[in-house]
Amino acid sequence: MNPNVNFRARTYVFALVLVCVLTMLVVAIVALSWLNDAEREANKAQLLSTVRALAAAVDVKLKVGAAELEALAASPSLDDKDLARFYEQCQKIIRPGTWLILSDPTGQAIFNTRFAFGTLRPLLRSADLVKEAVRTRSVQISGAFRGATQDHFQVSVFVPVIEEDRVTHVLMKSFELSEISKTLLDQTLPASWTVAVIDRNNLIVASNRAGDEFGGTPATQSLVDRIAQADEAVFNSVNKEGVGVVTAITKSAYSGWTVALGIPASEVEAPFTRSLKRMGLLAGTTVLLGIFFAALIASRLSSSLSQISMAALSVGRGMPTPVIRTRVIEINDVAQALGVAGDLIKKRSEERDTVEEQLRRSEERFRDIAEVSSNWIWEMGPDLRFTYHEGAHEGRARLQPGAMIGQTRWELVRLDPETDEAMRLHKMDLEAHRPFHQFRFVTKADGPALHLSVGGKPFFDETGRFLGYRGATKNETEVVEARERAERAEALLHDAVDSISAGFTIFDAQNRLVMFNEGNRRLYGDLLHLRVGITFEEMLREGLGKEQFADSAGREEAWLAKRLAQFRSARGSIEQRLHNGHWLLITDRRMRNGGVASLRVDITELKQAQAALLDSEERLDRAQAIAGVGSSEWDLRTNRNFWSKQMYYLRGAPEEFDPSIEALVETIHEDDRQRVIDWFERLKGGERVEPIELRICRLDTGELRIFKAEAEPIFDASGAVTRVSQTLRDITELKRAEQERRDLEAQLYHSQKMESLGTLAGGIAHDLNNTLVPVLLMAKLGMSGEEKGSALYQNFQLIHQAGQRAAGLVKQILTFSRKDVPLECSMSVHETICDALIMLQRSVPSTITFATDIRPVPEIVGDPGQIHQIILNLVTNAAHAIGEAHGTISVSLAEAVQETPQAHRVIRLVVRDTGCGMEQQTMKRIFEPFFSTKEVGEGTGLGLSVVHGIVTAYGGRITVDSRPGRGTAFTVDLPLKAQIDQLASALQRITA
């Protein structure tokens, strides 16, 4: 564009209109978008507000029902157990569509206002909510459910009745669903809106459509899913008729119900659509009008600007101005003219503005000072009437500035100078034009009385003519009232302090006595001369001089320094003993002004009671320690458990341990825990119980101990159980001694039985042996006289072999009965067992696997053949127990410590198999001679008897552990050589 080319103003006007129209269109589009978003958010907020209001209305319905029940719960008839009268009260307050039910804490109905009193009622179907109300001791709201006597749905409010800290009954108010629906209908909602109330089980409780048709029916799955996602939301959906709706839901924190409000989407979006159409029409109209008026204005703008330039030139009065050129010719002319006129106008305007600003600031300064001042600033005319009044307005004086103008001071405060002497003298000063200061008076105007102080000064003109007064008024009402309140409070404080039976003193920041009461004087009597102004240190020194403080004897200065330090810190309480035997509890507290307030209480009787109680507790602790019995007391009301010192010792608990019932139950052996809990439940029920034995883990070592507990319930005056008293005695050692006695008796019985059997077997064996000698000799003699291979030779040989087998059997019997003489030598047990296992591995079936763990052990004195016979019998029995099945025989040998009180070290041989195992009855007889579980002809029944006899002869022990189907393990403990020598020496000494 050529910069030297100029344009007419109308060209710029049309261009400006075009730009404005385009800008307006863009702004309109953006505004519509924003308006759409804002409209949607506003609709969402409005929907949420509406549905919240509906939920609140439903909650109010339920809360009113709960409030009625809580009021009924306080009825004296219910307290007096006069249920018939209480039933009549309930009948009087019920309304149509509702009824009241009273039940016990288990949910068993006592009466129902729908039926006659005394009619037997079944267990409530809502018994679970009754129990929940009892457990939580709070109001419970049900969902829609069918009552025990109703064939249609209802909802109920449950309120527990609490007496003496326990729930005795539960009151229930039931509503028909139509009552809830009526609450929705009362809200006068539009007919196209749909409202539904949904309980916690997603059942419809109420609706504003179709009465109770939908009551108790499930809500739609889509709505249930939305409720599960959020407690409050707004979303679009489609109703059953296929019409789009906007739905808002909110969940009540009181009842847990959800209120759903559905509005047709067309109604929600209708205002925005109408607004959109109107805005479009308005925008089109605006564009057309803009173009029309732009053309009109542009045509007139040229002539107007020309006229303005001439006017500006005339205003400028011909003063020279700089040349200003633009692309608009008319604007150039206007600029020249206005430039000339503007300089002149600016100069004059600046001068005027400066003067006006100074005046405005001066007035504002005076008004600000007057307003923030605590005094009233006033001015009177020569007639002594107010012409100006400004400042702090005292509302309770009802003296407003506008009402004061034109009145005299005595008219304003309604004090007649003729009758009020002070006002008469003040009027005389005013009429004499004398200045005055601090004229004080009390107003008699309407409202509370005001105490005012006034000061004023007369002012005159240049000729000395009196023009009036200027002055200030100060409101001293608060100061006067505060002084009066302080005087009353001080008198009240003195009376209250003197009425305190304890000693009370106040010291100032310099520790000087400011106040003391008669109680303080009574505590010290003539021992201490109290007087205002005495310092705390001087009081102590006077007391020390009279030997007043018993704890200070012999260390007066140290005691004084410590007491002064305690007083300066002013923290906590201390106990002080006087020389006359009295005890004082002294509490010092620092006040905000730096002083100290002290309270002295006589606790002599309390200290005596504490000493007696401590002495009694020490005697009880000594008696319980001697008896080995601990005691405790369980307070059922507070659930606190109180232990004696011996109880802490028995349980292995530190002194700081809190013996809560929950922590103690965890220390009881799990097998005894339920039995003990049931035992305590019987005690809580007031039942007398027998002593109980239980196993408890000590808290310090974790050792399991056996205790005997005895307890009895303690009743209050009403017969209710309030506490449980218990004693506990450790009987672990007694139980162990009894078990050891039973074990010894069993061992003695077994030993006597085996000894008798051995004696019998030994006698039989000797007789058999004497009988077999001639048989063997004659058989051998017969064999020597016949040829080998002959029939007679074979017969004699058969007799000889049978005699040898019989002789072997006799030898086993002699070994079992310990009648034979074994070989005595020092031998290596592990080598003997290894040799025997090598031979045995070849004789057992290949389906049996050996697992050995043979460790070197010290030598013992004995017969290697007997050790060989032990391993042979044990392994043979193990192989027989496994049979033809696949199995494992484990053999281990090691040095061990025998689990006996003496803890002897032994050589332990363990033979374990995976065979069929044994029952308890079989295990009791396995060591008996001739007892066998094998088939006839497979064994003699002497193998384990022989092993038992050998082990017993060595002073050892053999035990067996077996379960059917889980195999058997034999454990043989043989004493070491050194221990055998020690036992022999001891036996010799005893014999000698």
Q: What is the sign, positive or negative, of the torsion defined by CA atoms of 36, 37, 40, 43?
A: negative
More confident residue, 297 or 637: 637
Q: Can you tell me the distance from the alpha carbon of 625 to that of 586, in angstroms, rounded to the nearest whole number?
A: 38
CB 245 within 8 A of CB 262: yes
pLDDT computed for residue 477 by the predictor:
80
Over the stretch 892-926, which tens digit does the pLDDT of each residue have?
Answer: 999 888 776 566 788 899 999 988 888 887 777 77
Give the contacts of 426 (CB within 8 A, at least 6 positions apart). Answer: 409, 417, 436, 439, 441
Which stretch, 194-198, 390-394, 784-788, 895-899, has highest mean pLDDT?
Answer: 194-198
DSSP state of 85: H
344 CA to centre of own chain: 83
Residue with tokens 């229930």: 172
* 323-327, 339-343, 702-706, range with the lowest pLDDT: 323-327
Pick from 200-204, 490-494, 909-913 the range whose average pLDDT is largest. 909-913
Least confident of 278-292, 395-409, 512-526, 839-853: 395-409
- Whether pLDDT at 365 is above 70: no
Q: Kindly state the average pLDDT of the residues 267-273.
A: 69
Cα separation, 712 vs 682, in Å, equals: 10
With beta carbons less than 8 A apart as the criterion, state whether 483 and 451 touch: no
Helices assigned H by DSSP within 74-82: 76-79
For 341-345, 347-351, 787-791, which range has the lowest pLDDT when averaged over its residues? 341-345
Helical (H) or strand (E) element with 786: none
pLDDT in tens, 209-237: 755 566 778 888 888 888 888 888 888 88
Of 95, 101, 98, nearest to 119 by C-alpha is 101
Question: What does pLDDT average to over the chain?
Answer: 77
Stretch 705-725: mean pLDDT, rounded?
Answer: 88
> Residue 435: pLDDT band by 50, 70, 90 thresholds?
very high
Q: Is the pLDDT of residue 32 over 80?
A: no
Give the model's confidence band at 990: pLDDT under 50 very low, under 70 low, under 90 confident, else very high. very low
Q: List the beta strands (DSSP E) in 84-165.
A: 98-103, 109-112, 140-141, 145-146, 153-163
pTM for the structure as a whole: 0.33
882 touches 922 (CB < 8 A): no
Q: Which helix (H) or strand (E) holds 887?
A: strand 887-897
Question: Which two structure tokens, joined as six digits, stand for 410?
Answer: 């005595």
Q: Give CA–CA dist 231/252, Å, rounded.
A: 8
Average pLDDT over residues 278-282: 72
Q: What is the pLDDT of residue 337?
A: 61
Say what the pLDDT of residue 528 is: 65
pLDDT reported for residue 209: 72
In this prediction, residues 635-648 reach a mean pLDDT of: 83
870-889 residue pLDDT tens: 888 888 888 888 888 889 99
Residue 446 DSSP symbol: S
Once rounded to an integer, what is the mean pLDDT over residues 377-382? 88
Side chain identity at residue 844, one-letter code? V
Greatest mean pLDDT among 183-197, 661-675, 879-893 lies in 879-893
Confidence class for position 750, pLDDT limits 50, 70, 90: low
The fraction of the chain above a pLDDT of 90, given in percent, is 4
**pLDDT tops 70 at residue 819:** no
What are the tens digits of pLDDT across the range 922-977?
777 777 766 666 654 455 556 677 788 788 878 888 889 988 888 999 999 988 86
The pLDDT, as a whole number, for residue 986 is 45
Q: What is the pLDDT of residue 578?
A: 78
Confidence of residue 805 (pLDDT cuts 50, 70, 90): low
Structure tokens at 417: 């100078």
Considering only residues 935 and 634, tell me which one the structure prediction assigns the higher pLDDT. 634
Contact 84, 65 (CB under 8 A): no
Decide which of 503 and 967 is more confident: 967
Share of the chain above pLDDT 70, in %: 75
Q: What is the dihedral of CA 67, 70, 76, 78, to 10 degrees?
A: 130
| Exposure string for 890-916, b = 16+ CB within 10 A, e = fewer | bbebeebebeeeeebebbbbbbbbbbb
pLDDT, residue 940, reads 53
Q: Which two tokens stand for residue 467?
A: 């023009």
Asked if residue 421 lies in contact with residue 457, where contact means CB atoms within 8 angstroms, the answer is: no
Task: For residues 583 and 600, give the distance between their C-alpha atoms in angstroms, rounded to a whole number.
Answer: 10
User: Is 355's pLDDT higher than 70?
Assistant: no
Average pLDDT over residues 664-672: 85
Specify the pLDDT at position 577: 79
pLDDT given at position 821: 43
Question: How large is the average pLDDT for residues 12-36?
Answer: 71
The pLDDT of residue 373: 56
Q: 130-139, 611-620, 825-834: which has the minimum mean pLDDT?
A: 611-620
Which pLDDT value is given to residue 326? 53
* DSSP structure class, residue 265: H
Calpha distance 756→668 (Å, rounded): 46
The token pair at 367 is 């008004």
Structure confidence at residue 992 (pLDDT): 41
Residue 885 vs residue 523, higher pLDDT: 885
Residue 388: per-residue pLDDT: 82
Confidence category of residue 457, pLDDT binned at 50, 70, 90: very high
The tokens for 702 are 């974790």
Residue 75 has which token pair? 């009825």
Q: Are 296 and 275 in contact (CB under 8 A)?
A: no
Q: Which of 114-123, 604-613, 844-853, 858-867 has the highest mean pLDDT?
A: 844-853
Is pLDDT above 70 for 822? no
- pLDDT score recorded for residue 153: 81
The reported pLDDT for the residue numbered 971 is 92
